[in-house]
Amino acid sequence: MEVDDPTTALLDGATELTLHDALARAAARQPDAPALLSDERQLTWAELDAEVNRVANLMRAVGFAPGDVVGFMINKRPEVVIGFLACCRMGAVFAPVNYKLNLDRVRDQFQTAGIAGVFTEKARDRLLEGLLPLLPNPRLIVYVDGPGRLGESHYGMADDQPSTFDPGDFEATPDTICYLNYTSGSTGRPKGAQTTHRNIQHNAVDTIAGLGFRADDVFLGMFSVFAHPHELFHRSLLLGSPFVILDSMNPRVIAEAVERFGVTWMMAVPSFYEMMLDWVRPRDGSGSQPGHLADVSSLRILESGGAYVGAETLTRMEEAFGCTFLPVWGCTEATGVGLANGPDPAARKLGATGRPIPGYEFRVVDDKGRDLPPGEVGELLMRGPAVTTRGYINQPEETVAAFVDGWYHTQDLCTMDEDGFVRFVSRKSEMLKIGGIRVYPLEIEAVIKEHPDVVDVVVVRAEERVRGEVARAIVSTVPGSGLTVRGLQSYCRGRLAVYKVPRIVEFWQEVPKLPNGKIDKQAVLRTPPDPTRDEREG
């Protein structure tokens, strides 16, 4: 998609900018224009630039040095973005910490990444106590919500720092590592992809140009603060457009914020948009009294990642919201979105994951690395300047396995058609072999989701003593549903081969999710199968 001339001019040479240089450019070009919007405060580009300088000066004053890895264990608040850019400016490496993981996982991240200090909140003190042996310098524990009992520094100390910054002897380049972008850990141990300024800027340029993001867009990202936090602001940073930071997953709160801030572009998982529908004023004026519902007519794009989007969902969302629904696919190693199904409705295929946006190349290969013809299932490989080919920090074996000859091996099983549209089939690790036949959980999930009583579903492998590997479905239903195991299996038998029908069906109150909105399959697998489980009867 072509973008207007002002946008094109701003993207020219952008991949040669560091993130902090892009911030300085935005502040110089439009100092009084809105930048960071939140309920607590709103900053112009000049104010954001000055606060980043003060925090960078504070970091240096308390003892952080260029190259230090700085952990951030804080909620989604303005300090996430300010801290990210302050790390870039003074030469440190920003490392988001998933403080919802257990202590052993968090300790592993600290040790693997070599985290020197943290920005934290008082609410994290119980977790922080278990990490203190790894943080010997209390000055490098910075509380963002006032003085705290486990460290000696706090964010308010930045008020006494200069609003300009002298980099001294350190000078970052576009190829300097500035960020450890962590995988979700949904398939095992989280890995920190070593991400450079250039990786981030390339993804920003590619998605702005490929998706049609504009300089007048107001952006709201709903993903977790420790799941690709650069995507909360990286496109807006290049174009000098406003972005909204809100620490809420309440659909009513978000719908009201869309109206209050005039949000034009959202990024969320499909299920979140479903939840928002109860709080959105219909475009045709039907429904409840307007005063009880939010006016979200400012929205023009609903970017949707993290889960499969079927044709029915896409059509229904566009009709309900009255704007373009844009399915995308991305990953940590791609530094964001790499495939998109749109945004032009005339150039998309319903049910497809998407096709490459500019800047990325994709292949589908067999187990020997040979390219497969259109329509055949194989592993999806990708490359491009946004791909984090530096690999994972201090995880050499995982790096060697994932990055081969410049190509990232996604472990996703997909097909690609003659027009370059990719369709996701399964994760390699999640493929089932039932009676020696390959079975892909996504196919089963797509059928079950079509049942009118089903809210959400995930299908995983299980073992039976006689049959061996079988499909196990975890299902959540609408309130009051009388759907039974036999009823759902009968429904599936009319739409699937018999061997694909889940042998085990369990009804849970809700399918567990990770903070980024993706289904937490590890949480399901940790729970032993129980064909009699029905939480709805409790």
**Do residues 241 and 215 touch, judged by C-beta distance below 8 A?**
yes
Secondary structure in 3-state letters for 91-110 = CCEEEECCCCCCHHHHHHHH
How far is Cα 495 from Cα 224, in angstroms, rounded to an integer?
36
How far is Cα 402 from Cα 392, in angstroms, rounded to an integer?
9
Largest CA distance in the chain: 71
Q: How confident is the model at residue 3 (pLDDT cuts 50, 70, 90)?
A: very low
pLDDT tens for each residue of 222-252: 988 888 999 999 999 999 999 999 999 899 9
Q: How confident is the model at residue 409 (pLDDT cuts 50, 70, 90)?
A: very high
pLDDT tens for each residue of 347-365: 899 889 999 999 999 999 9
Q: What is the pLDDT of residue 287?
A: 52
With left for phi above 0 and alpha for psi between -120 and 50, is residue 410 left, alpha or beta?
Answer: alpha
Give percent of the chain above pLDDT 70: 95
Say if residue 529 is preceded by a cis peptide, omega within 30 of 0.
no
Q: How confident is the model at residue 433 (pLDDT cuts 50, 70, 90)?
A: confident
Q: What is the pLDDT of residue 432?
A: 85
pLDDT tens for each residue of 496-522: 988 899 999 999 999 998 766 778 888
Q: How confident is the model at residue 493 (pLDDT cuts 50, 70, 90)?
A: very high
Mean pLDDT of all residues in the chain?
92
Identify which of 436, 430, 431, 429 has the alpha carbon closest to the alpha carbon of residue 467. 436
- The per-residue b/e assignment along 140-170, b for 16 or more CB within 10 angstroms, e otherwise, is bbbbbbeebebbebbbebbeebeeebeeeee
Q: How confident is the model at residue 2 (pLDDT cuts 50, 70, 90)?
A: very low
Q: Which domains occur in the chain, in start order?
A: 15-30+39-197 (3.40.50.980), 248-427 (3.40.50.12780), 431-537 (3.30.300.30)
Over residues 313-319, the mean pLDDT reads: 88
